């Protein structure tokens, strides 16, 4: 027996699922639910109490010829469904996992049949209707449910139904009074997780008004253009605050609530701090700042509680110095430096530095995030005098050696909330005391998705954060000749988990990549068409950095960051134990093999800043090759030249070349986008993104060694991120790109403490 397919709405708990529109609501709020989680929920509700096997789910979600990481994709869809329902695998209320069998729905159903008269339902759309049937699977057993036959028209039983309803309401009122007398504090303080925004595009960087009733946030489109909006809690529509052609971000309410400070992007490496009235009007520019090296364009500024100063992340005046935190007067634009990040702080020193400043509620301390490299950061705290002068050296609060970002103080406590993960793809919210006692504790309601940008109201009873669903996969692009028609790019294989750092094997028959399919960042290997994927590493901790094949295809070299530094490691390409190559007091990163397999090139800060070095592939002493900076080395196939990057800012780097045996270096390309380049026999393939106003449009180009010129091969509207490789026959480009279904919403947590 099954639930009748003719039903329109199925209700359970505070939720109702509209089977016709495919929409899930919690009370009056629409809950974002993607297609695959919706289909799984529909299957479970059609078989209440019955087991739905993973094989049944596979057949429903994917056709037989679809290449997909099936087990992990089902697991990811179930996690998204549980997130939407505020459910958990450990203590399920709705969805129970049966190991090696499947899943089943264990909640109480309220099934709404299609109306049989034209009379309007009583009690509004969210109230239980006279023809709602309550089914308690735990009370009535695990038998499937079928709607009862309605023997007489609804109108004949209206009086009886009203009398029964009145009796139930009297009983419920008495019960609620008894519960309130028995445990009012417990029921009132339970955290309630609610969707706050569910718009198309990306919403993030929330900031509470001082009274905690409004939230300013950034709403951006797929072209990466964002503006500031304000939304009253309890209302549906946000109010636009800015509309400049440039991107606005990092909004922060002033302590008096009269104005909002934010950052406006003025172009590569330039930003302006702006202030605008909270009720709308023309913004005024406080200062223009260099921000070429400032890490992670998010939460770059905050207000001091007295409202007389802003703290903002900005480049230093000294060339090549990492970004620091500055005090900025909102009236005069006067700047004074607060933090002093060490030089050479990581192999990619130009990409390091300080960001995400947050003053303590009393204004006598500042916490901030210090980046060692683009994917590793920690939170620091520095005490301040009444004059806002640092007292002593900053004290490190976190030691996770992870991607950490956007801390927020919990008012009335010594605690902070922050986001952390092996990378943004696996980030969740954590809580830790600034006293130095205790370990970080995860927030349970943020464990199902990618959560960051937390903000807490001054009263400490509301928390809001960004829930990011990422659509980052490997895409396959055909390299066409002049006479051929361009071909549309296609996904290499479908996955709900992020895939990046892709690379072809030397013979072109296999592909390695890094994915979070197992829950942690691991190296996987598949066939050239994406078939037969298998997990190569089981690190369950640090993220494998820039893995590269050996020329024989038998080994893969990579780097891992642990205990505050990075070292080189090697793993057999067919599986086996991972072996450590370097163990020094410095950082060794971004390795690659020479084409004869005898050497491993890498970047290191052994000399104080990032330079290119080489060492024997079997281990041994290293030799420095560059003197003016360099990272991510690749040897030319004829083994005469070594190509490497010199980062200019977060997104662009210059490509340089030096003879393998030493000599003068030569600049080859002025702008390579996000380290995406590959060296072949004939030349260099690379990516370039023009940025605003074209947004994320990315070009694939080829620089010929013979012509010494670049030509455009293809253009994609999707942003290319971390991964770029060319097949040995130079017929295909694999790149890691952001798909169309990604986005982020804001989630509100009421009764937070």
Q: What is the CATH number of the domain that holds 57?
A: 1.10.10.10
Residue 81 lies in a domain: yes
Give residue 695's pLDDT. Answer: 56
Residue 562 lies in a domain: yes
DSSP strands (E only) in 106-176: 108-112, 132-136
Cα 696 to Cα 201: distance, rounded to the nearest angstrom = 13
Secondary structure of 552-574 in the HEC alphabet?
CCCEEEEEEEECCEEEEEEEECC
Residue 491 lies in a domain: yes
- Is 280 a residue whose pLDDT tops 70? yes
- Asked if residues 492 and 733 have their Cβ atoms less than 8 Å apart, the reply is no
Cα 610 to Cα 35: distance, rounded to the nearest angstrom = 46
| Domain closes at, from 469, 494, 523 | 469
Domain that holds residue 684: 472-738
Whether 133 and 240 share a structural domain? no
Give residue 224's pLDDT. Answer: 62
Distances (CA, A) of 67 to 58, 455, 473, 607: 12, 40, 13, 47
Whether 128 and 59 share a structural domain? yes
Residue 715 lies in a domain: yes
Q: How many domains does the chain have?
A: 3
Whether 421 and 538 share a structural domain? no
Coil, helix or strand at residue 233 = coil
Whether 334 and 235 share a structural domain? yes
Range from 168-182, 222-236, 611-625, 646-660 carrying the lowest mean pLDDT = 168-182
The tokens of 190 are what?
């339970």
| Domain closes at, from 119, 151, 183 | 151
Which residue bears the tokens 């029964």?
164
Whether 144 and 214 share a structural domain? no
Closest by Cα among 200, 95, 181 to 137: 95
Whether 301 and 425 share a structural domain? yes
CB neighbourhood size of 392 (10 A) = 7
Whether 127 and 223 share a structural domain? no
Give the sheet arrangement for strand 545-549, strand by strand.
545-549, 555-562, 565-572, 579-580
- Is 170 a residue whose pLDDT tops 60? no
CATH code assigned at 701: 2.120.10.30
pTM for the complete prediction? 0.68
Cα 715 to Cα 698: distance, rounded to the nearest angstrom = 6
Q: Rounded to the nearest 10 degrees, what angle do helices 54-61 and 70-84 cross at?
A: 90
The overall average pLDDT reported for the chain is 81
Give residue 740's pLDDT. Answer: 67
Residue 338 lies in a domain: yes
364: buried, middle or exposed (CB in 10 Å: 19+, 13-18, 0-12)? middle
More confident residue, 329 or 57: 329
| Domain closes at, from 469, 496, 524 | 469
Distances (CA, A) of 639 to 357, 633, 725: 47, 13, 19
Most confident of 132-136, 149-153, 249-253, 660-664: 249-253
Whether 382 and 523 share a structural domain? no
Cα 175 to Cα 187: distance, rounded to the nearest angstrom = 14
**pLDDT tens digits, residue range 344-378?**
544 344 457 899 999 999 999 999 999 877 678 89
**pLDDT tens digits, residue range 452-499?**
899 999 988 999 999 887 778 899 988 887 666 666 778 888 777 788
**pLDDT tens digits, residue range 38-49?**
889 988 888 888
Residues shown for the chain? 753
Give residue 111's pLDDT. Answer: 54
Kindly state the DSSP code that residue 323 receives in the 8-state scheme.
Answer: B
528: buried, middle or exposed (CB in 10 Å: 19+, 13-18, 0-12)? middle
Cα 733 to Cα 676: distance, rounded to the nearest angstrom = 11
Give residue 16's pLDDT. Answer: 83
Residue 256 lies in a domain: yes
720 pLDDT band, cuts 50/70/90, is: confident
280: buried, middle or exposed (CB in 10 Å: 19+, 13-18, 0-12)? exposed
Residue 419 lies in a domain: yes
Whether 459 and 516 share a structural domain? no
- Is 153 a residue whose pLDDT tops 90? no
Whether 430 and 476 share a structural domain? no
Cα 715 to Cα 731: distance, rounded to the nearest angstrom = 16
Cα 92 to Cα 94: distance, rounded to the nearest angstrom = 6
Give residue 64's pLDDT. Answer: 61
55: buried, middle or exposed (CB in 10 Å: 19+, 13-18, 0-12)? exposed
Residue 536 lies in a domain: yes
Cα 329 to Cα 340: distance, rounded to the nearest angstrom = 19
**pLDDT tens digits, residue range 595-628?**
999 999 999 988 778 899 999 999 889 999 998 9
Angle at 704 between CA 664 and CA 670, to 5 degrees: 55
Whether 446 and 486 share a structural domain? no
Whether 552 and 640 share a structural domain? yes
Secondary structure of 380-430 in the HEC alphabet?
EEEEECCCCCECCCCEECCCCCEEEEEEEECCCCCEEEEEEECCHHHCEEE
- Is 291 a residue whose pLDDT tops 60? yes
């Amino acid at each position: 027996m099954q639930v009748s397919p003719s039903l329109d709405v199925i209700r359970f708990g505070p939720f109702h699922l509209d089977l016709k529109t495919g929409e899930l609501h919690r009370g009056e709020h629409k809950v974002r639910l993607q297609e695959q989680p919706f289909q799984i929920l529909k299957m479970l509700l059609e078989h209440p109490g019955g087991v739905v096997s993973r094989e049944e789910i596979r057949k429903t979600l994917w056709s037989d010829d679809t290449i997909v990481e099936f087990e992990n994709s089902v697991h990811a869809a179930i996690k998204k469904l549980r997130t939407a329902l505020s459910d958990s695998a450990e203590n399920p209320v709705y969805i129970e996992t049966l190991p090696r069998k499947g899943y089943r729905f264990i909640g109480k159903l309220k099934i709404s049949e299609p109306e049989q008269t034209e009379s309007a339902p009583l009690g509004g759309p969210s109230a239980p209707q006279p023809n709602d049937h309550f089914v308690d699977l735990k009370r009535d057993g695990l038998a499937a449910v079928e709607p009862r036959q309605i023997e007489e028209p609804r109108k004949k039983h209206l009086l009886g139904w009203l009398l029964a309803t009145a009796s139930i309401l009297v009983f419920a009122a008495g019960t609620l009074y008894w519960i309130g007398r028995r445990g009012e504090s417990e029921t009132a303080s339970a955290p309630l997780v609610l969707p706050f925004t569910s718009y198309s595009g990306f919403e993030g960087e929330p900031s509470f008004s001082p009274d905690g009733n409004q939230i300013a946030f950034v709403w951006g489109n797929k072209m990466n253009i964002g503006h500031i909006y304000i939304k009253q809690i309890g209302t549906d529509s946000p109010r636009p605050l800015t509309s400049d052609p440039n991107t606005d971000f990092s909004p922060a309410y002033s302590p008096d609530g009269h104005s909002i400070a934010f950052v406006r992007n003025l172009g590569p490496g330039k930003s302006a701090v702006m202030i605008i009235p909270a009720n709308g009007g023309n913004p005024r520019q406080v200062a223009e700042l260099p921000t070429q090296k400032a890490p992670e364009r998010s939460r770059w500024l905050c207000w001091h509680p007295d409202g007389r100063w802003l703290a903002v992340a900005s480049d230093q005046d000294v060339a090549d110095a990492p970004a620091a935190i500055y005090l900025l007067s909102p009236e005069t634009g006067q700047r004074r430096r607060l933090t002093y990040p060490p030089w050479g702080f990581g192999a990619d020193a130009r990409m390091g530095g300080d960001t995400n400043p947050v003053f303590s509620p009393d204004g006598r301390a500042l916490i901030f995030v210090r980046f060692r490299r683009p994917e590793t950061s920690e939170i620091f705290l520095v005490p301040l005098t009444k004059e806002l002068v640092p007292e002593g050296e900053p004290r490190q609060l976190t030691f996770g050696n992870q991607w950490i970002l956007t801390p927020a103080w919990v008012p009335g406590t010594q605690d902070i909330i922050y986001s952390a993960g092996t990378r943004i793809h696996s980030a969740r919210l954590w809580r830790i005391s600034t006293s130095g006692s205790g370990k970080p504790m995860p927030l349970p309601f943020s464990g199902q998705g990618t959560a960051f940008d937390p903000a807490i109201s001054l009263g400490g009873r509301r928390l809001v954060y960004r829930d990011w669903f990422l659509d980052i996969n490997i895409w396959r692009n055909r390299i066409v000749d002049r006479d051929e028609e361009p071909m549309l790019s296609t996904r290499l294989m479908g996955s709900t988990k992020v895939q990046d750092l892709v690379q072809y094997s030397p013979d072109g028959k296999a592909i390695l990549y890094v994915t979070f399919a197992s829950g942690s960042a691991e190296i996987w290997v598949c066939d050239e068409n994406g078939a037969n994927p298998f997990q190569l590493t089981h690190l369950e901790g640090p993220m494998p950095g820039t893995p590269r094949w050996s020329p024989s295809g038998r080994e893969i070299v990579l780097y891992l960051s642990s205990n505050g530094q990075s070292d080189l490691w090697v793993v057999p390409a067919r599986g086996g134990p991972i072996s450590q190559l370097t163990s020094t007091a410095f950082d060794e990163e971004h390795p690659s093999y020479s084409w004869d397999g005898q050497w491993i090139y890498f970047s290191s800060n052994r000399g104080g800043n990032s330079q290119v070095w080489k060492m024997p592939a079997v281990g041994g002493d290293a030799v420095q090759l560059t003197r003016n900076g360099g990272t991510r080395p690749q040897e030319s196939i004829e083994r005469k030249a070594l190509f490497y990057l010199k980062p200019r800012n977060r997104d662009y780097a210059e490509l340089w070349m030096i003879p393998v045996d030493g000599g003068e270096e030569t600049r080859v390309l002025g702008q390579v986008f996000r380290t995406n380049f590959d060296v072949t026999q004939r030349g260099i393939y690379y990516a370039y993104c023009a940025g605003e106003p074209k947004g994320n449009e990315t070009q694939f180009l080829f620089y010929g060694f013979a012509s010494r010129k670049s030509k455009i091969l293809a253009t994609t509207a999707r942003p290319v991120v971390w991964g770029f490789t060319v097949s040995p026959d130079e017929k295909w480009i694999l790149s890691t790109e952001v798909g169309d279904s990604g986005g982020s919403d804001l989630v509100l947590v009421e009764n937070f403490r």
